[in-house]
């Protein structure tokens, strides 16, 4: 009788515990989503620059501060304009980004030199070969951050170019329905944030510049300079001309979106045409020899067997 009661209690307890566990997991997920939403709202409606500095200062570890000090010593506390622009286009907007970038390059250089020196020291080669290997070991890591920044910059630029036609379409729909361009810009920036955070953040930053007193054309030109997307400069010129000459902004946005899609289609066709030429090298090096071995190999083996038997 006790065994039946225990089995019955277990059958009731398992669904109850499962229900409580599901409710607990769901509550945790909802709480995390709410905290994330609160963080995004706080970032949007507070002073962006002050919060960025506070977050960056809070996140800086001792090692990161050491790297920044090394970069400041190497660059004498002054970064070049080209480096600033390149880091901004790559999405590194922090005040200490150039110093950290320079510090990482310096540490990688010395680390590569020391590591290569320890590796080539036991080798029985002449001093010229050892010096060349040590120099190469320092040069390759030194230029590695340049490659990473260029790849990140290209990725951000490609993402903006991919999603910009949809942004222009949304702007055209909002303006055609009677919404002002400023309000339409804010609405589209909020909507595109979930699809493309990079483009949404760039639009929010340009909107922040407009609130600080910059003109729309200047804010959009700064946005184009920060992202490296030439289409944003064209969009700024179109909006300025439409407002100056009194033409329809909705029609201008519609034509601009169509031209961007046509340009993207032509670029895709061009890349498809180049693909045939690019495939020649792997076909010659890998595919044709394999096919030759499969087709000619059995015949060669039979001939060899007949000759040497």
pLDDT for the residue 32: 65
pLDDT for the residue 54: 47
- DSSP secondary-structure letter at 204? H
For helices 197-211 and 48-59, angle between their N-to-C axes, nearest 10 degrees: 130
pLDDT for the residue 48: 45
Q: Provide the whole-model pTM.
A: 0.63
pLDDT for the residue 13: 53
pLDDT for the residue 262: 85
Task: Enter the tokens of residue 146.
Answer: 């340049």
Q: How far apart are CA 231 and CA 77, in angstroms?
A: 34
Q: How far apart are CA 224 and CA 233, in angstroms?
A: 6
- DSSP secondary-structure letter at 193? T
For helices 62-75 and 97-120, angle between their N-to-C axes, nearest 10 degrees: 90
Q: Which long-range contacts (CB under 8 A, 24 or more apart) does 43-48 make?
A: 44/204, 48/204, 48/205, 48/208
Where do the DSSP E strands lie in 19-137? Answer: none
- DSSP secondary-structure letter at 123? S
- Please give the domain boundaries of the chain with CATH numbers for all domains: 63-155 (no CATH), 157-277 (1.20.81), 284-308 (no CATH)
Q: Are 200 and 163 in contact (CB under 8 A)?
A: no
Q: How far apart are CA 238 and CA 255, in angstroms?
A: 10
Q: Are 133 and 120 in contact (CB under 8 A)?
A: yes
pLDDT for the residue 137: 82
pLDDT for the residue 6: 46
The predicted-structure confidence for 148-164, as pLDDT tens digits, reads as follows 888 988 888 888 888 88
Q: Are 81 and 104 in contact (CB under 8 A)?
A: no
Task: Enter the tokens of residue 93.
Answer: 């907007």
pLDDT for the residue 103: 85
pLDDT for the residue 4: 43
CA atoms 213, 214, 217, 222: torsion sign: negative
Average pLDDT of the chain is 77
Q: Are 140 and 112 in contact (CB under 8 A)?
A: yes
**What mean pLDDT is predicted for residues 206-234?**
80
pLDDT for the residue 40: 58
Give 8 or 140, the one with higher predicted confidence: 140
The predicted-structure confidence for 8-57, as pLDDT tens digits, reads as follows 555 555 566 566 666 756 666 776 676 666 655 655 555 444 444 444 44
**What mean pLDDT is predicted for residues 76-87?**
77
Residue among 63, 73, 114, 71 nearest 96 (CA): 71
Task: Enter the tokens of residue 32.
Answer: 């995390």
Q: How far apart are CA 294 and CA 239, in angstroms?
A: 63
Give the burial string for 36-68 (b: 16+ CB within 10 Å, else e): eeeeeeeeeeeeeeeeeeeeeeeeeeeeeeebb
């Amino acid at each position: 009788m006790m065994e039946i009661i225990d089995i019955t209690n277990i059958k009731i307890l398992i669904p109850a515990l499962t229900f409580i566990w599901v409710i607990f997991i769901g509550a945790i997920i909802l709480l995390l989503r709410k905290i994330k939403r609160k963080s995004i709202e706080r970032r949007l409606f507070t002073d962006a620059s002050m919060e960025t500095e506070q977050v960056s200062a809070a996140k800086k570890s001792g090692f990161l501060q050491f790297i920044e000090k090394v970069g400041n010593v190497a660059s004498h506390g002054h970064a070049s304009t080209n480096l600033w622009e390149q880091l901004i286009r790559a999405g590194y907007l922090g005040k200490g980004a150039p110093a950290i970038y320079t510090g990482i390059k310096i540490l990688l250089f010395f680390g590569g030199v020391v590591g290569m020196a320890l590796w080539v020291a036991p080798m029985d080669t002449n001093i010229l070969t050892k010096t060349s290997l040590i120099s190469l070991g320092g040069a390759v890591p030194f230029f590695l951050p340049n490659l990473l920044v260029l790849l990140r910059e290209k990725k951000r630029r490609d993402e903006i170019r991919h999603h910009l036609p949809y942004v222009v379409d949304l702007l055209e729909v909002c303006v055609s329905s009677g919404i002002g361009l400023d309000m339409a810009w804010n609405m589209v920036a909020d909507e595109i944030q979930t699809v493309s955070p990079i483009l949404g953040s760039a639009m929010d930053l340009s909107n922040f510049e407009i609130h600080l007193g910059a003109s729309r054309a200047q804010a959009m030109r700064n946005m184009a300079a920060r992202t490296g997307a030439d289409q944003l400069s064209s969009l700024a010129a179109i909006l300025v001309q439409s407002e100056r000459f009194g033409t329809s902004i909705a029609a201008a946005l519609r034509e601009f979106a169509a031209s961007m899609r046509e340009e993207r289609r032509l670029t895709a066709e061009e890349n498809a045409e180049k693909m045939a030429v690019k495939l020649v090298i792997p076909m010659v090096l890998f595919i044709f020899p394999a096919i030759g071995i499969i087709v000619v190999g059995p015949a060669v083996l039979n001939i060899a067997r007949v000759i040497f038997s």
